[in-house]
Amino acid sequence: MPPLHYLAGRLTALSMVCVLALAGLPAQAQVRPPAAPPAQQKTQVPGYYRMMLGQFEVTALYDGYVDLDPKVLKFTSPGEVQGLLARMFVASTPGMQTAVNAYLINTGTNLILVDTGTAACFGPTLGRVVENLRAAGYNPAQVDTVLLTHMHGDHVCGLAADGKAVFTNAIVYADKAETGYWLDEATAARAPQDAQSSFAMARAAVAPYQAAGRLRSFGAGDKLVAGVSAVPAPGHTPGHSGYLFKSGDQSLLVWGDIVHSHAVQFRRPDVALEFDVDSRQAVRTRKKLFADAAGGKLWVAGAHLPFPGIGHVRAESKGYAWVPVEYGPLRADR
């Protein structure tokens, strides 16, 4: 019989099996056709992240993402923007991937949702707050309080579906300056044509709550719910507000739209957004809240920071840095 290696180079795979059998080699050494590689799964884990703040349970809820054109950033230059994006390995095409986040806080007494996401207002990459709220172990009917940082569509559209309230047992709160601006017919009529849809979205989202007497406007110093206070943060919109949650010796500031580009605006707080109602005021507010968060070592949660959007602000020799939360088990001792 010719040497086995001589035959191996000249026989088909099937013939080789026969040769191996004749040679008395073990079955596992016999040649088999290559298996197809496993298919890629193409899915992500549910979009929620949980941490403890003292005795409060905080759950970040991912609504999705939008690709923002870097040109929406103002008080800067294209070269500076591209340099800052590259420094943080953030792609600028087809746009800056920008998360939309909401936050669910279980205080043990209240179940509070800060902002509600986009629902069906802005396309297929968004609209998953309720889906992820359910994945996190809750359902919309359990939410008793909704706090709106402001009334742009990516924060309020999730309030309603087909003209009906999604959070059927919730009272909705927003700053008086915010409701006075977005719900005022005369203000809407004076707005530029390209802003008309924003007014329409706000009115439609809160309409079922307004009709049921469950939309509340608050002013400075008004009590909301135990453990949380409103923090004025005007500029992006007239009544834009953050919410400070306190439990024990820990605090979390849910600050809404203080930052839209983490790569640019922490380093350069002077950079504003063309969507701001008052960009100069938005810059002043951002600088103040950065200083407060860094000085007080507050936990911060942002609607447009990379999911889960929770972390700390660190002062640097030039601007600030974003320090994201570290994944870990739920612990009430940090």
Q: Is the pLDDT of residue 5 over 90?
A: no
Q: What gap in Å lies between CA 306 and CA 310, rounded to an integer?
A: 8
**Does residue 25 carry a pLDDT above 60?**
no
Instruction: Tell me the mean pLDDT in the region 45-61.
Output: 97
What is the DSSP secondary-structure string of 97-122? Answer: EEEEEEEEEE-SS-EEEE----TTSS
Q: What is the mean pLDDT of residues 266-279?
A: 97
pLDDT at site 26: 57
User: Which DSSP state fits 17?
Assistant: H
Mean pLDDT of the chain: 92
Which of residues 5 and 250 earns the better pLDDT score?
250
Taken in order of first residue, the domains within the chain and their CATH numbers are: 1-35 (no CATH), 48-324 (3.60.15.10)
Model confidence at 20, in pLDDT bands (50, 70, 90)? very low
pTM: 0.89
Position 7 pLDDT exceeds 80: no
Residue whose structure tokens are 């095409």: 93
Q: What share of the chain is helix, strand, coil (3-state, %, to 5)?
A: 30, 25, 45
CA-angle at 273, arms to 80 and 221, nearest 5°: 130
Report which of residues 157 and 331 the model is more confident about. 157
Other beta carbons within 10 angstroms of residue 116's beta carbon come to: 29
Mean pLDDT over residues 236-246, rounded? 98
End-to-end CA distance of the chain: 75
The whole-number pLDDT of residue 4 equals 45
DSSP assignment of 223-280 equals: --STTEEEEE--SSSTT-EEEEEEETTEEEEE-SSS-S-HHHHTT-TT-EETT-SSHH
pLDDT higher than threshold 60 for residue 269: yes
Please check the confidence at residue 273 and state whether its pLDDT lies above 90.
Answer: yes
Whether the link from the prior residue into 94 is cis, omega within 30° of 0, is yes
Q: What's the whole-number mean pLDDT along residues 165-192?
A: 96
